[in-house]
Structure 1
């Protein structure tokens, strides 16, 4: 079967490191074009790929079937809208959009155009998260009553880049938080309510660089935390259930590997080092290291290719991505009002 002609919009850190290498590793996709104002940079990494100065020129002059949008967050909605209106399938780097109203518009437009729309939630394919999914699905921990997920880094200096400026969609809640929220919703569904504390913690910070969210369910509390001032990251996951506990240190290695020009073709791709295996403790207090499942971000685009070619399910439904944005909106409302925000699941 002919590979799907694919275009990438944006060639910053996301496009260059996290999108292009994964797309190129998938047999069913053919990366034929990039939108960038720096063609020399693109051609250094992707010789032979055609570079367009704007999305409009790409849509006019390129027959790519799939458009992948890896631009600053405030451009996700208008660019996805243009691509869908031009009858292209669309993948958007997370977060989906800045506000849920525009997310609903994109979902409706994709339905009208009969095009596929998905969001690149790569951390659904982290090995540690796949391990926790397995533990939950097999009921190895029993009823999970408390779930902690944290993503702490040490980046004390505020950088002059859009992610850290006072702009719509900037800050780590839209960035790292979108990953943690998506994972929580996969495990537990939409919460009944959200309580949040958001801070611009570092000196000179213009955007949120510290978040602490409590997602409440009838029998479960989910705590999601991230900040930029932790010299030690602490546990990545702490999962407490009626039959056991799973505690995991260390981040999935795939993002760091991609920054070092490693990918699915590399030795040990998606594998956790033994020293990072999580500790499983049963109800009798017996402890044992648990081998982490193998991760693989390429699975996302393999599933995208299959969805386009064979009509199989998307790796990330746009309604799921929309629910992530609704939780983020609720978190900002909670911080502004100083109270818990009630939620209902998307019907889109």
Structure 2
């Protein structure tokens, strides 16, 4: 097995928490390099990593095969162009780009340069989402009538990350947290027929959106996506109602919390939620009404990187396509338009 040589475009929270741990413990990869303009943070955790002071210098290193673009949203497009033109494969953190036009340009460029490009929608591998997906695939609720998904926090203080609070294209909770919920909804139900969105900002002195309430219209059901920074008492993150019954599940994937505490993804019982977070299934089975708490499936972001290896080395499908990433941006653009017009937008 020939490990893929990987370079990170930054070593902030995304690099430290969501990418480096999975790359470093997976024998299919080698965490080869990082781009840090002035610091040497990555070397503190990975002493053998090469540190580059400019992106251009890093891309000139022929050993690098895969580049992870985990920089601020507004830089994704420009960084991706440079990586593709350098002939490197790339993983781009969500959101893929700020606009659909940018996404389409990158997709075409990657085809021309024959490089593999994927978007890091890691929340497909959350334990709660995998469990919801399993409930739907097994038809336990009948035909879905309504589904509601939350990504809430209680965090009224502005982020210390200036780029997250600067009102530029690609910034705001609809891009950051909304990207996760939108991708999950599209995985479960496909593209909606129309959308209505209410976007706002409630934190003191906030200049970017920090609240959204988005309704996706499907022929047979509705999907509601919500997020607020003023939810101190957590709500159920997953609420689904069908013609047979309901499934209610907390948003309780443990991976991010464990990664922040320094736990590595090759640890025993990785991605296992506590039993207290089991979802309640109240439905009809074989003509009988039943109510039970069902086990939560394990979450594991490593599945994404295993898929990236297979795509690069064995020409298998990428785990999250650039087209999937573009569809998320299509929904976001429609949400922004709907919020401005205060009306339903057809897709």
- Structure 1 length-normalised TM: 0.96
2:347 is aligned with 1:328: no
RMSD: 1.1
> How far apart in 1 are the matches of 2:133 and 2:290?
21
Match for 2:341 among 334, 337, 340? 337
Shift of 1:265: 1.9
2:309 is aligned with 1:317: no
Cα deviations across residues 58-115 of structure 1 (Å, max 9, x unaligned)? 0113521101110000110111110111111010011100001000000001111111
Shift of 1:250: 3.7
Structure 2 unaligned spans of 5+: none
Shift of 1:37: 1.8
**1:49–1:39 Cα change, 3 Å:** farther
Shift of 1:274: 0.4
Query: In structure 1, the residue corresponding to 2:339 is in which secondary structure?
Result: helix
Map 1:287-306 → 2, pairs under 5 A: 287-306=291-310
Shift of 1:294: 0.7
Query: In structure 2, the residue corresponding to 1:176 is in which secondary structure?
Result: helix
Q: Is the 8 A contact 1:147 1:240 kept in 2?
A: yes
> How far apart in 1 are the matches of 2:43 and 2:297?
36
Q: Is the 8 A contact 1:254 1:263 kept in 2?
A: no
> How far apart in 1 are the matches of 2:38 and 2:199?
36
Q: Which residue of 2 aligns with 1:155?
A: 155
Q: Which residue of 1 aligns with 2:143?
A: 143
Q: Which residue of 1 aligns with 2:22?
A: 22
Q: Which residue of 1 aligns with 2:52?
A: 52
> How far apart in 2 are the matches of 1:42 and 1:21?
11
Shift of 1:341: 0.8
Q: How many correspondences in the alignment?
A: 343
Q: Is the 8 A contact 1:213 1:225 kept in 2?
A: yes
Q: Which residue of 2 aligns with 1:92?
A: 92
Structure 1 unaligned spans of 5+: 344-348
Cα deviations across residues 216-242 of structure 1 (Å, max 9, x unaligned)? 000010000001011112001001111
Map 1:192-341 → 2, pairs under 5 A: 192-283=193-284, 285-341=289-345
Q: Is the 8 A contact 2:127 2:252 kept in 1?
A: no
> How far apart in 1 are the matches of 2:4 and 2:251?
36
Shift of 1:25: 2.3
> How far apart in 1 are the matches of 2:198 and 2:70?
28
> How far apart in 1 are the matches of 2:124 and 2:25?
18
Q: Is the 8 A contact 2:40 2:51 kept in 1?
A: no
> How far apart in 1 are the matches of 2:264 and 2:217?
37
Q: Identify the range of structure 1 (230-239 vs 158-167) with the bigger mean alpha-carbon deviation.
A: 158-167
> How far apart in 2 are the matches of 1:110 and 1:250?
35
> How far apart in 2 are the matches of 1:286 and 1:138?
16
Q: Which residue of 1 aligns with 2:173?
A: 172
Q: Which residue of 1 aligns with 2:116?
A: 116
Shift of 1:140: 1.5
Q: Is the 8 A contact 1:39 1:51 kept in 2?
A: no
Q: Identify the range of structure 1 (248-257 vs 279-288) with the bigger mean alpha-carbon deviation.
A: 279-288
Cα deviations across residues 176-198 of structure 1 (Å, max 9, x unaligned)? 10000000000100110110000
- Structure 2 length-normalised TM: 0.97
Shift of 1:149: 0.3
> How far apart in 2 are the matches of 1:61 and 1:26?
22
Runs of 4+ in 1 over 4 A off after TM superposition: none
